[in-house]
Amino acid sequence: MINASHPRVASRNITRPWMAGLAALIAMGAVVAAPNVASAASPLRVELGGATRFAVLASSTVTNTVTPTVVSGDLGVSPGTAVTNFPPGMVTNGSTFVDAAPEAVSGQAGLTTAYNDAASRTPTIVGTELGGTIKPPGVYRSAAGDFQITTGAGPLTLDARGDPNAVFIFQTASTLVTAVSSQVLLINGAQACNVFWQVGSSATLGVTSTFVGNIMAQATITANTGATVIGRLLARTGAVNLDSNTVTRSDCAIPPNRTTTTTLTSSCAAGVPGRISFTATVRSTAGPIPPGSIAFSSDGASLGTVPLDANGRATLSYTNLSEGTHQIVAVYQGVLALNPSAALSNQRVGPGGVCPVVRKIVVVKKPQAVKHKDRDVAPAIHRKKDHTTLIVKAPHAVTGVSEDGWTLHQTPHFNHVRPRG
């Protein structure tokens, strides 16, 4: 029996390389925000706090049969002290903490907070049998109050849909039971560290089963002979019972950042002189539509920051651009696992800040011509229903009065003709 604590093992703090490639964007005048760890396509992650370091944590005892169970990560008991049959059980890549050891006490406190957090999430109600199903990121609760994965049903498959930060939460009011040789599979970037099982009483893992995720049980956890766990076995008030198991603490891998692309378009607001709307659209090379925000600037001066909507678009309307050509930049500021990107366009603005749009004028009779520097300019005719839309385009101002009773009206970049009077 082990009844001792060991020195604290220093934890690692890994900074994600999300800032790569931002220097050029900052030079454009963009303001870069801190990364946002939430994913638009999944629930927020359950934070384990002090329990993060543990592969196995119990309240009363950790009991192993006389077999070579291997625990990779810390093993803890608190407020209890009993850890039996270690050896032949082994703790690798970690230490053992019991009783009032600060690590064990902190672990139980973190477990309580995480358990309550997971239990409070708003769920989707599903059936008791999880075997043979494919679940996207989300929060799931059994209508009957318990979950099971039976032998003949097939594996439970968790599909991250290309998002390595996708979170899966399962809530049970009573038990979690998996059958002999049952499996939980991860696909499309799903990570065991982001799978959470909030169990209202006890969890039992079947003989030679393969299980994935962090079990947070109110009472006891039993891993039967040969069961393999990638995750954590965390018991709030009871014991953790082991038998020839391999329990490997799941730490989130840092995936390479995905590339994003940003495009930028502009349009003029109808009936509002001078108001120009800029719309940026962001797409990722893989995975769901990116979350985050867009920083807009004109000639290096900030116009504002707008969050992306569910379609990956952000629109900013502006009315104070001066006459001339402006360099508009839209910078996607990036979030966790998504690189920033930017788009640039040149926006022309006419006298008085008027947006240079073609105002089509409906006429009922085609004029003969208009004068442009003493030359006739053939008008461009476009049919619209039963009317004729006349647009006269010239590189310079058109002067004079057209023949056949039509008067010239000018806009900043186009010259139009309409009936006199």
pLDDT at residue 258 in the model = 77
Q: Global pTM?
A: 0.57
pLDDT at residue 89 in the model = 96
Task: For residue 242, give every residue at least 6 positions away whose Cβ sits within 8 Å of its Cβ, in sequence order, or none.
Answer: 56, 62, 63, 64, 65, 69, 71, 89, 223
pLDDT at residue 335 in the model = 77
Burial class (CB in 10 A: 0-12, 13-18, 19+), 199: buried
CA angle at 413 for the pair 418 and 402, rounded to the nearest 5°: 30
pLDDT at residue 290 in the model = 84
pLDDT at residue 256 in the model = 66
pLDDT at residue 184 in the model = 95
Q: Map out the domains of the chain with their CATH numbers.
A: 43-248 (no CATH), 260-353 (2.60.40.10), 361-419 (no CATH)
Closest CA relative to residue 391, chosen from 361, 420, 365: 361
Averaged pLDDT in 10-residue chunks for the chain of 421 residues: 37 33 34 33 88 97 95 97 96 96 96 97 96 96 95 91 91 97 93 97 97 98 97 98 96 78 81 76 82 89 90 88 85 82 85 50 42 45 42 41 42 43 40
pLDDT at residue 274 in the model = 63
pLDDT at residue 338 in the model = 81
pLDDT at residue 354 in the model = 58
pLDDT at residue 271 in the model = 52
pLDDT at residue 322 in the model = 79
